[in-house]
Amino acid sequence: MSGLKTSKRMRALLLSLAFCMWGAQAQVFEAGEHYEVLPIPVKPVVEGKVEVVEVFSYGCIHCFSFDPLIEGWLGAIPDDVRFERLPAIFSQDWALLAQLYYTAEVLDVLGKVHTPIFNGIHVDRLDLRDPNVAAELFEREAGISKDQFLEVSNSFSVRSRSQQAMGRTRAYRITGVPTMVVAGKYRVDGRMAGSNGKMLEIVDFLVEKERSAQLGDQLDNKTDEVAADEQAAEQ
């Protein structure tokens, strides 16, 4: 049984090291005060990574102001973090704007039109709910023809993704945007954080918290495997 004892000691050591990485912040960011724990966790889209979701809308001025901070934050996230934007749909107008996001995603031009859509609405005052105006933006920024834009924006794929976004927004219990969800377990917004910039600090804290939890699960699984192997060897 020496191997099992060694595994348990190694697990305890690694967990203590992991806790030290974020433990000093644990007294600063507390559940119920700086972030909320979802009563029913939502399974991440991709397993094996720490999922961070920004729930936003192109029609939200606060999301527009927050977006440059998000872009800067994205430049430094580690490889084990998966980031995703999720359009919120609280009205028919926002549903049309979510449709723009998923149209760009299907056409694989999101990187070319994401910021121009924000700027078009909040700087240039374009009515991008109008499909003809939106088609002009896609053609200008990404070289997508009007016919192609209209075909994709009315496709089953875009409608399906929008419906899924509505379901996930409800599952996350989102009431306002921008809001960020970490690992399908923790929700934080600017009101709880104190500011949108502070929200990203709390997200970083929650990423470390989830990373430590995943490490603990991995070590538990490894310990179980070692115990099973030793038990089999003894038989």
- Residue 189 near residue 178, CB atoms below 8 Å: yes
Pick the CATH number of 89-173 from 3.40.50.620, 3.40.50.2030, 3.30.230.10, 3.40.30.10: 3.40.30.10
Share of the chain above pLDDT 90, in %: 75
- Residue 182 near residue 41, CB atoms below 8 Å: no
| Per-residue pLDDT tens over the stretch 103-123 | 999 999 999 999 999 999 999
Which of 17-26, 94-103, 153-162 is predicted least confidently?
17-26
Q: Report how far residue 6's alpha carbon sits from residue 117's, in angstroms, rounded to the nearest whole number.
A: 56
178 cis-preceded (ω within 30 degrees of 0):
yes
Domain ranges of the chain: 89-173
User: Is residue 12 within a helix (H) or strand (E), and if so which, with residue range?
Assistant: helix 2-23
Beta strand 186-189 with 81-87 is unpaired
Give the predicted TM-score (pTM) of the model: 0.82
Q: Report how far residue 17's alpha carbon sits from residue 194's, in angstroms, rounded to the nearest whole number.
A: 30
List the structure tokens of 86: 């999720």
160-198 burial code (b ≥16 CB/10 A, e <16): ebbeebbebbeebebeebbbbbbbbbbbbbbebbeebee
Residue 172, SS3? coil
What letter would DSSP give residue 81? E
Please list the residues that pair with 53 across neighbouring strands.
84, 181
| Per-residue pLDDT tens over the stretch 135-169 | 999 999 999 999 999 999 999 999 999 999 999 99
Please list the residues that pair with 187 across neighbouring strands.
36, 181
